[in-house]
Amino acid sequence: MNNLVLSLIVGALAGAHASTWGMYKDSPHEGFSWPKYLRSTITSALVGLAVGWYVQLDLTNAANLIVFFAVVYVIERAIMEFYKTFLRTEDQSKYFIPMQFHILGKVVESKSARLWLGLAYLVAVLGTVYLLYWFGSIDHGMHPWLVVLIIGSVGGWISAFGGAWKDAPLEGFQLLKFFRSPGMALGYSIILAFFTDNYLFITMGGLGYTIASTETYKTFFFPSRPRGKFAGKPIDFPEMMTRRNKFVPLYVLIWVGIIVCFVLGFMGPHHGLLPA
């Protein structure tokens, strides 16, 4: 029971992290509401509870906590992006880059078409997840470092191709941006491979920390630069430029907690794919 409580708490913190950078970048254009802000927090808390119940990781161990946070993070992000891309219907005129599924900038208006496309996308992603799970269940005899180099950037490539599909037709193709996610995902996956020998967790966690890091950089290192989806759009809620700063301490505390757990994870007992 205590582990389930920890799963819920860690899940909520992962969601609060995503909720905060999402609100910070969007609120000057869309305004603020508590239901929208808490959407990712609640979703991630439920994901954390479900994942915690299923995998039964001991979350009093810092190494397990590091991995669990990232896995929950990427699942919540996948759910939200799937919802916004294929399920949600809203006015896209407020965006420079449409959030609903589009082809070369032209939104697919048919809801049934988006549902079928979403189903195909879901099958492809779940198929990749299954392949990673299968790969981890067989005796392939490969050196652990080679395994990490093969699987570590998989999540990053999915993110890179998805981002290019969505952004490049309107922003133009940016080579460094395209390779950023696979490179960062591989780096984080190598670190996580010291804490777990689960191939799926390594890959998912690497992407989770990649998203958390890139969004932090884009959102808080350039706070006055509008995000790509709002490029050229007016700031309709200027009061949020100041109000949103009240949430920054929570965001910083979550990052501090992550860093502390990384340090404790390396100092404490950990059993990963790569030898300590």
For 162-179, write each residue's pLDDT tens digit. Answer: 877 777 776 777 777 788
Distance of CA 88 to the CA centre of its chain: 19
Angle, helix 154-171 to helix 111-137, in steps of 10 degrees: 150
Per DSSP, the three-state class of 106 is strand
Distance of CA 83 to the CA centre of its chain: 14
Average pLDDT, the chain: 90
Residue 143 has pLDDT above 70, yes or no: yes
**276: amino acid identity, one letter:** A
- Residue 207 corresponds to which tokens in the numbers above? 């992407």
194, 266 Cβ separation under 8 angstroms: yes
Give this prediction's pTM.
Answer: 0.92
For residue range 19-66, what is the model confidence (pLDDT) as tens digits? Answer: 999 999 999 999 999 999 999 999 999 999 999 999 989 999 999 999
Confidence of residue 1 (pLDDT cuts 50, 70, 90): low
Distance of CA 38 to the CA centre of its chain: 16
Residue 184 has pLDDT above 70, yes or no: yes
